[in-house]
Amino acid sequence: MSHLLLFDPYAGGHHAEHVRHVLRGWHERYGGSDHRVTVAVAPELLSKHPDLLTLGEEMGPNVRFVEIRDAEGLGEGLLTTGLWHRRALERLIVEHRPSHTFLLYLDHAQLALGLGLRFPFPVSISGLLFRPSFHYGRFDPNPPPFRERATRFRKRLVLQAAMRNPHLGAVFTLDPSAVPDLARLSTSTRVVALPDPIDPAGLRGTGERSVVRAAYGVEEGRVLGLLFGYLDERKGVFALLEALRLLPEEASRRLAILFAGAVRPDAHDRLRAAARDVPPSVQVILHDRFVPDDEIQDLVRASDLVLVPYQRHVGSSGVLIRAAAASRPVLGQDYGIVGQQILQHRLGRAVDSTRPEALADALVSFLEAPEEGFDEQTARAFAESNTVEAYQHTLFEHLELGSVTPGRA
């Protein structure tokens, strides 16, 4: 009988999604047996997503939630965060004595593992590494700034120290390009590429293209570019707005750009000012509110081009999968795994998105030849390989929690 401790001290982003996926995958394989799971999460996660507790109750008494308290120092720098993880993990593992601990955000726990987190009893540890980047030099089109090179070097050293921890059995990553480089850091720790867990049900969409476009005020005859999600500088909103100012008049008259998502509070005034500077010949639509999952795919299907002009974003992006599933080309950064996936799976165009002139040239190029760089068949295959089911299957095949034993009456 195994006892899995699922550890995630964060409440934002996609953390609730991953907790759901892991729990449902565990229940599919081990529900009804003597296997147990303890879910240690931030109180804020449970208050924002009370359905998680309901899900646990539905799965039965072998699923238990505990709240991670005393989060002082979490997120206050590499060393402070590492020491916090060491204290929190040591307390939880000693208290609950799991046979296996899965860290849903290994990135901030690496230092804890490297700083001598050890136990006198058997417990294996694994984790999901979201943002590996020390391997980016292999396909970086331009030499990175010194600060970025220093960050990559530091990440490599910290991860190498973590992978020397005898309890660490497996490192999972959503970036398949990182696997060879990660594997070279240790001969004892397994490195596994995980599919990005996008729920196929959320990729179908139900709205009519013309109805959705009309609802958002898209003028008829315009080519629609869509940038959605939490809108801030990292997403490339300001670089894109600057690019729109550089467009020739003919391209401007053909284009509509929809920004759909909540604007970061400290970016409101700057974003609205930048939007006012765009020539009126371009239709700019700012939809400043959170867009729920059941609306996102309708928006993607209603668009002609999905924009991913991230500013040197590290890690993968579910936007690529959503666009590929809807057979919509993307225009995105040429940096990191996002750039690699755009090129490898022929998802569209990848450019240096930190340069507004490069974005402007790519928009003009798309208007002239929308099919360039995009192959519907390979894009759809990419989307179909990244599902919740594939994520769950791969994860539990490699966690090695043991065989299923019948539950006791």
User: What per-residue confidence (pLDDT) applies to 265?
Assistant: 87
342 neighbors 367 (Cβ within 8 angstroms):
no
User: What per-residue confidence (pLDDT) applies to 405?
Assistant: 52
Does 354 have pLDDT greater than 90?
A: yes
Does 409 have pLDDT greater than 70?
A: no
For the entire predicted model, the pTM comes to 0.87
User: What per-residue confidence (pLDDT) applies to 315?
Assistant: 86
Question: Model confidence over 184-228: pLDDT tens digits?
Answer: 999 899 999 999 998 766 666 678 999 999 999 999 999 999 999
Please give the torsion angle defined by the CA atoms of residues 40, 392, 81 and 4, in that order, rounded to the nearest 10 degrees: 40
229: number of CA atoms within 13 Å, CB side? 19
Does 72 have pLDDT greater than 80?
A: no
Question: Model confidence over 305-327: pLDDT tens digits?
Answer: 999 999 999 988 999 999 999 99
Domains defined for the chain, CATH in brackets: 3-197+387-399 (3.40.50.2000), 201-384 (3.40.50.2000)
Using 50, 70 and 90 to split pLDDT, how confident is the model at 267?
A: confident
Residue 58, number of CB atoms within 10 A of its CB: 11
Percentage of the residues of the chain whose pLDDT score is greater than 70: 96
- C-alpha–C-alpha distance, residues 402 and 265, integer Å: 47
Residue carrying the six token digits 């600060």: 147
Does 122 have pLDDT greater than 50?
A: yes
Does 171 have pLDDT greater than 80?
A: yes
What's the mean pLDDT when you consider all of the chain? 91
Using 50, 70 and 90 to split pLDDT, how confident is the model at 282?
A: very high
User: What per-residue confidence (pLDDT) applies to 203?
Assistant: 67
Amino acid at 357: E
Q: CB under 8 Å to 24, separation ≥6 — which residues?
A: 55, 388, 392
117: number of CA atoms within 13 Å, CB side? 29
